[in-house]
A and B are shown apart, each in its own frame.
Chain A
Amino acid sequence: MPKAFFVDTSRCTACRGCQIACKEWHDLPTTATKQNGTHQNPPDLNASTYKLVRFSEHRIDGKVEWYFFPDQCRHCLDAPCLEVANGYVEGAVIQDKKTGAIIYTDRCKQLKEDECEEVTEACPYNVPRRNTGTGMMMKCDMCIDRQQAGLIPMCVKTCPTGTMNYGDRADMLAMAEKTLVKVKKEYPRASIVDAKDVNIVYLIQDTPERYYEFVTADNSAVGLPMSRKNFLAGMTKPAKRIFG
């Protein structure tokens, strides 16, 4: 049975335990950051940051709202990045059958820089990043090593608030629906994001654009429903290159 996360942002307090634990589990280096007018740091996902808590704040009708979004790869059911990358290098990206995790293999290093850019562009959530040193494409691997050892992913383990939940996909979807009913009482604009297309299912308290640009595929230029058609079209792209 595929696994899924349910991320209930209405319980998130932006303690950033997940962001830091992810880094420590994957032994990722820290980057020299600067304060740039927000608590969100590093400012964006990067090749050594797979998980980032995003902050957004609004004064709506005189009332302040402060939203937190622990961002990461959504592990799409049909991942556009997989299709695009594998179009260039077979086996660069694989999907683990047991967990549904989208995994970038070492073969990603064979992708050229502009091909990597295409992979990132194909992602409706703007997640993959290229390590300019090694040439490797980097992003959340759903802690596949831990899962294979029967352990829950690190961000879920660390979360002290119940924001990060992990389990069988069906259970997570049920949990999401149940929670939404509760959250909607206080936040009528709350919704579940792209549940049918992804394995990392977010509940947000307000409209996606109040969080950030790439919360939902609908919002991005790529768009998941579109991308399905797209990647069939996209499939021909590398072919064109090879033959043309």
Chain B
Amino acid sequence: MEIIQTPSASKHDVLTGLLALREKTPALENIFDAFSPLLKAQEDGRILLEKWSDFEIPEADALRFEQGVPILAGMDMPNLGNFFPEIFWTMTTALAKGMPAIADKVTAIIDALKDSDSLNELARSVWEEDNNAIEVFAKDANVDIAILTILGSLSLKPFMNRMKDEAAVEIENMFWNKGYCPICGCFPDMSLLKKQLTENAEYMAGHGGQRWMHCSCCDHQWRIKRNICPWCDSEDYKKLSYLQSEETKTERADICDTCKRYYVTIDTRDLTEMPDPRIAPLSLVHLDVKAQEEGYEPMAETLWNSL
């Protein structure tokens, strides 16, 4: 499996990127203002977790993996220690700040859980996708279950991101052709079409792009075939197309009429700067709106494409 650098991830921090995007697309100011605090909180979480190493990546079984089982599938939740509560509170504050409309519900959660020592239990329920347990937890605390779930998963994301780098090394030489993430199994929130880069002295290089998917959960990027639907694996070219605005031909929503799903894409082949896939989807919400208006569902639900 090919691993590529995401130059933007190392070169620029999230905030700088956000500011630049906000400047580029003033029409989306509201969106940026709403989600910047959350993205900043995610970034802070990632930085904090550089100190966390209390986990062990399962050994990769090539056969199982190449049949489509992500490396972290079935892994028990590692010990999150005190990192989880810390990230949870950062995330909560950010959500309240960015979205005044739900601020009171978030404040209710803060009030109800501020002295709780069972936040890691919440983490476990979200990790195991145990909806009953989450429901019990929300009922006990008497808080909004939807927002609690969102906060739970947002707070787990930095942990997935932390584990991703080591997991990626494990699967470096293995083959993956699925539409979901080879590490955590989540669907992509966007894809990038990239130019082929190679160290070889190429006499002639094709100009066709390679499609790299970006995981909505752990930020991993993996390459898949260009002519396939990541959701339903359909290769029926008559049913695979895309929506785009007249002005910006490098941005589009790829749609599949077999499964009625979509995901957003930036064609980076002609771009002077490589977009940062952690924040780029924010600048594409107009495509989310367009695709959803035409009856397509996103492959990965994100805050900005579902709220």
Contact = CB atoms under 8 A, between A and B. Distances in A.
Do the two chains bind? yes
B273 interface: yes
Contact of B205 (A3, A147, A151, A160): A160
B202 interface: yes
A151 B201 contact: no
Interface string B245-272: 0000010000000000000000001111
Contact of B272 (A11, A150, A160, A162): A150
B155 to A, nearest CB: 34
A13 interface: yes
A13 B205 CA distance: 13
B191 to A, nearest CB: 18
A150 B273 contact: yes
A151 B271 CA distance: 4
Interface string A152-172: 100001001110001000000
B270 A151 contact: yes
Contact of A152 (B204, B206, B272): B272
A152 B202 CA distance: 20
Contact of B203 (A13, A146, A147): A13
Interface residues of A, number: 13
B203 A3 contact: no
A160 B195 CA distance: 11
A167 to B, nearest CB: 8
B244 to A, nearest CB: 14
B64 interface: no
B51 interface: no
A178 B271 CA distance: 24
Contacts of B238: none
Interface string B165-207: 0000000000000000000000000000000000001111111
A152 B207 contact: no
Contacts of A13: 203
A11 B202 CA distance: 9
Interface string A118-153: 000000000000000000000000000011001110
Interface string B268-299: 01111100000000000000000000000000
B207 A160 contact: yes
Contact of B271 (A150, A160, A161, A162): A150
A151 B272 CA distance: 5
Nearest to A147: B272
Contact of A161 (B202, B250, B269, B273): B202
B7 to A, nearest CB: 11
A160 B203 CA distance: 7
Interface string B13-57: 000000000001000000000000000000000000000000000
Contacts of B202: 161-162
B204 A161 contact: yes
Contacts of A151: 250, 270-272
Interface in B198-253: 201-207, 250
A196 B98 CA distance: 47
Nearest to A167: B272
B204 A160 contact: yes
13 contacts: A3-B272, A146-B270, A150-B24, A150-B271, A150-B272, A151-B271, A152-B271, A152-B272, A157-B270, A160-B207, A161-B204, A161-B205, A162-B201
Given A150-B250, A157-B207, A157-B270, 5 more contacts: A150-B273, A151-B250, A161-B202, A162-B201, A162-B202
Interface of A: 3, 11, 13, 146-147, 150-152, 157, 160-162, 166
